[in-house]
Structure formats: structure tokens, C-alpha cells
Amino acid sequence: MGLFNLFKPAKTVLVVDAVSLNEAMGQKGKIPPRNQLQVLRRLSRFSQREKIKVVAVLTGTPLNKAPAGKKFEEVTVIYSKSADVHAKFIAKTVRSKGSSAVLVSGNAAAEKLAGSGVTKLRVSTFRKAFDTGGDSDSGNDRSEGGGNNRQRGNRPQRRRPQKQNNNKNKGNSEPKEERPPKVASEADAINELIDLID
């Protein structure tokens, strides 16, 4: 991408406050594990693309698929005990990585606690590089995998009832066969909501 070439004099390590990143992406409060794993996957792809080490700092109980202190794909994942100590934990983590560490956070308290000797990058700035990587994981995978959008595009057009006085159909005097009336049931109610192909 090039943005992080500015930070690559040695072995740069990005310490990413995943809580701030989730908030910047519109997810607040208790984030479901699935969404946390999606963010970690996107961080992993970012790490590979930029050829830069990433440490993601989450909070709470470690995820089964991303245990504390282990790598999840290309990203090292660590956890603070709770939201109350999260800022202190991030600051301590970034300081422990040395002068080559860059703190990516939107947490003003964490930035202040990290001190002036730590390079800082706001989450809003980081997202400009993070979001432009061609990732399709930004909330849905339907565009690649043939999800709902693809199905709608291939769906045949609905038939519309023809008007009796349509000038185009005057030459066709053949009446169409109609189905015999059925007794209404639950299946009929469902069938009315679905486009059926005869």
C-alpha cells in the first residue's frame, strides 16, 4: 500500500487497539466473537499486504480460535482483562515493543499513557489504509460468494397480469388454460410470497 513505508526503518510493530477499531467501524459494546474474528482476519490480510507485524489488543475473555498471546493467522492477539484497564494495558504493551512500535488507537487515555516517545496513529487515519485493501469482509461476504445479491441478479422477472384491452394481444384469441381453484392452505400463502416457476 505504501502508507506504512514511513514506519519501516526497522522491524515496525503496529499495536492495534481492536476495541477502538471496532468502534470506528460502527460496532460498540460487546462485540460478537464472529465479528471480532472478521476484524482479526482483515488485520491479518493487512499485515501480509503491508509486510508489517501487527499485535491486536482486544478486551475480555480470549476467543477460542484466537487464544491470548498466540498468533491468529498473521496477527498476534492479546487481551486486556476489562474495559476499565484497557487503556493502561495498551500503553504498557506498546511501550514494551520498543521504539519501533506504532500505537493505532482512538483511545485518548491510552495515547496519553503511552507517552511522547511512542509513535501514534489515529484509528481514523489507519482505516484509510485498512479499508482500501480490497477486503470484502466489511460486514458481508455476499459479493464474492454468491450470496443474496447474486441470486437476485439471476432471478427471472415476475409475470404481470395482462390487461384485457391490450392492443398487442388482439391477434391472439387463444385463451390460456387456467388452473382449477384450490382450497387455501398455509402452503398457498407461502407460494404467494415466492416467485414460482411453472
Distance CA 9, CA 99 (A): 11
Which phi and psi (to 5°) does residue 20 adopt? -65, -40
pLDDT interval class at 151 (50, 70, 90): very low
**CB of 84 within 8 A of CB of 77?**
no
Over 60: is that where the pLDDT of 47 sits? yes
Give which of 1, 25, 58 is closest to 139, Cα–Cα: 25
For the whole prediction, is pTM greater than 0.75? no
State the pLDDT at residue 78.
93
pLDDT for residue 99: 78
**Kindly report the CA angle at 126 between 93 and 12, in degrees rounded to 5?**
50
Digit-coded pLDDT (tens) for 56-111: 999 888 888 988 889 988 899 999 998 889 889 999 988 888 878 888 988 888 88
pLDDT at 146: 40
Sketch the domain layout of the chain as residue ranges: 16-133
